[in-house]
Structure 1
Amino acid sequence: MKINPYYEFVKNFFLSYNCSISDQGPYHMTIQLSADMDEELMNRPFYWHYMKKMNRQGEPMQLTFTHTNGSEIEGIYLHAGSPMLQRIYGIAMKKGQSARLYESIKEPVDQKAMNPWLILNALIQYRGKQARDEQLSVGINLIHGTILTNMMDSLWNISFDSQVSDYTFPMTPVISLISGYKRIHNYLDTYIQAADDSWAKDSILQLEKEQHLLQRFFETEDVSKDDFLKEQAQIETRYQPRVTISIVNGGLFYISQQTSQGLLMKTT
């Protein structure tokens, strides 16, 4: 089965905000929302206003998501244009835009210095004949400038705290945050330029085809110039290939030298 790229993101998003999975199968999952997430996501302001006024807890809703469109189980199919996915993106961007965290060290270590890593989670949106979203997590070591990808996956099993652990100290960055941000953005630009652009070529061909048909229709039918221009603009909006990069969130992560070396070894 082809993996839905948005499925794991949505799952991790809800688990990160104290929601739970009440039912899960090979092709679906049902999320029990917390009261706070229901209030954020489900657009029921009057219900929650009434519950608070009556000093009652309220009953958060459940959401079922499916891997594929047309699944036997009724639920929300996650795709690039899904309104629910766009709302989830918006909440993620609002709630977790930045963080400063330190690797949790329980025992004294020989190498006490903590390397600063700037990590940005980016959303790349491809729009044209077809729509596609891609999520990239990119980190740069602010001491020597090494850039790594899939950073959040690499850090998933590492414990972090908001306070510096005993016996350790954070190193002062050699590379500034602004410079680090620009380097990651340049990396993303290079990544997009090197990616397969067949989708853009298909979009341009479809755009030219639609424009040609519109021109012929305009020449043979009684259509006003204003209507022609409006339809032309709509065709360009639908088929003109474009790529946008949005930084969803990010943070400064201080990671021990041992762990940093382990991250670097994974890429070699």
Structure 2
Amino acid sequence: MKIEHLNTFIIEFFESQGCEVKVVEEHLIDIKLNKELDIALMNRPFYWHYMDKLGKQGEPMSLYLYTGDKREELNREWIHFGSPRLHQLFNYIQTKSKVSILYEQTDGNSQTALYPWLIMNCKIKIIGKQSKDIVGSYGLHLLNGMMCQNMMKQLQERTLQRIMTDYSFTISPIITPTSGFHRLFHYIENQIIQDDLTWATKSQDAYDEEVSLINHFYEQQSDIGIEWYNNELEKLEERLKPRVDVSIINAGIFYLTNDFQPS
């Protein structure tokens, strides 16, 4: 089973920002940037300054990405966990609306330390013979690395606000948000792998059976072209090939009092 969370994250991120995204084939993604993301990602401020000075619209650049597991000899940028480009995207997200910074309300009468948690709400899409969507909420303590599930439910009894209460102060994180996202993705991946994978086995068996039928039909029908064959295999893989996509709905850095102990 392959977990395509990075592929899905990149596609959904750029589409949500209004960029034109084209999936050429598996792990090959073409992205036409808009002006805002060109400025944020492509490091050419003088170009846009010059265009603005001339009153011209300017032409954003494109990204040609490869998201596979290992380096291929392709004329593309390899984006993976740990790559500078992915760090750029996470840093950009932290400054935009998808990421909130909230503080737990305190009594305002005494010095109170607030500890940083990275909270991520995500959609886990199980794809196969029987597909389903799961919405999950996960938390990572950015000092000690503790991870937990159902984070938003566990925070229901706490009052969170955008401004710190008087006499509260924050503790600086040891784990960076970029590293935190990486840890949470692996945490979710490991959970899925350790879960009951009967659905994946059944989906793979159904997929293999359908491939055999298509192969047999293709071999018997000499008038059917390779284009039909490839299209049928592509549709079959989309429908039955077992996989899991994980995508971020929203995320935030929540500063909580030390008495918060998730179950």
TM-score, with length taken from structure 1 = 0.58
Match of 2:142 in 1: 142
Gaps of 5+ in 2: 1-95
The size of the alignment, in residue pairs, is 167
Give the secondary structure class of the aligned counterpart of 1:174. Answer: coil
Query: How far off is 1:122 after superposition?
Result: 1.6
Distance of 1:176 and 1:161 partners within structure 2: 22
What is the alpha-carbon root mean square deviation over aligned residues?
1.9
2-structure distance, mates of 1:186, 1:223: 47
Task: Please report how far the alpha carbon of residue 96 of structure 1 lies from its aligned counterpart in structure 2 after TM superposition.
Answer: 5.4
Residues 56-92 of structure 1: CA distance to partner in whole angstroms, max 9, x if unpaired? xxxxxxxxxxxxxxxxxxxxxxxxxxxxxxxxxxxxx
Cα distance in 1, alignment partners of residues 234 and 172 from structure 2: 51
What CA distance in whole angstroms lies between the structure 1 residues aligned with 2:233 and 2:178?
A: 41
Q: Percent identity?
A: 32
Counterpart code for 2:165: S
Aligned residue type for 1:238:
R
Partner Cα distance (2:171, 2:216) in 1: 66
**1:200-247 superposed Cα distances (whole Å, 9 cap, x missing partner):** 111111111112222232333454123223222221221111111111
Partner of 2:84: none
Q: Are 1:243 and 2:221 matched, yes or no? A: no
Between the aligned partners of 2:174 and 2:103, the Cα distance in structure 1 is 18
How far did residue 181 of structure 1 move? 1.8
* Counterpart secondary structure, 1:144: coil
- Aligned to 1:119, the other structure's residue is in SS state strand
Structure 1 unaligned segments of length 5 or more: list them.
1-94
Report what 1:187 is aligned to. Answer: 187
Letter in 1 for 2:251: G
Q: Relative to structure 1, is the Cα distance of residues 232 and 145 closer, same or farther in structure 2, using a 3 angstrom cutoff?
A: closer
What whole-Å deviation, never above 9, does each CA across 1:11-63 have from its counterpart, x for those lacking one? Answer: xxxxxxxxxxxxxxxxxxxxxxxxxxxxxxxxxxxxxxxxxxxxxxxxxxxxx
Shift of 1:183: 1.5
1:169-188 matched pairs, under 5 angstroms: 169-188=169-188
Aligned to 2:160: 160
Residue-by-residue CA offset, 1:120-139 (whole Å, 9 max, x unaligned)? 11211111112111122111
2:230 is matched with 229
Report what 1:252 is aligned to: 253
Deviations along 1:87-136, one digit per CA (max 9) or x if unpaired, are xxxxxxxx951100001113424x61011111111211111112111122
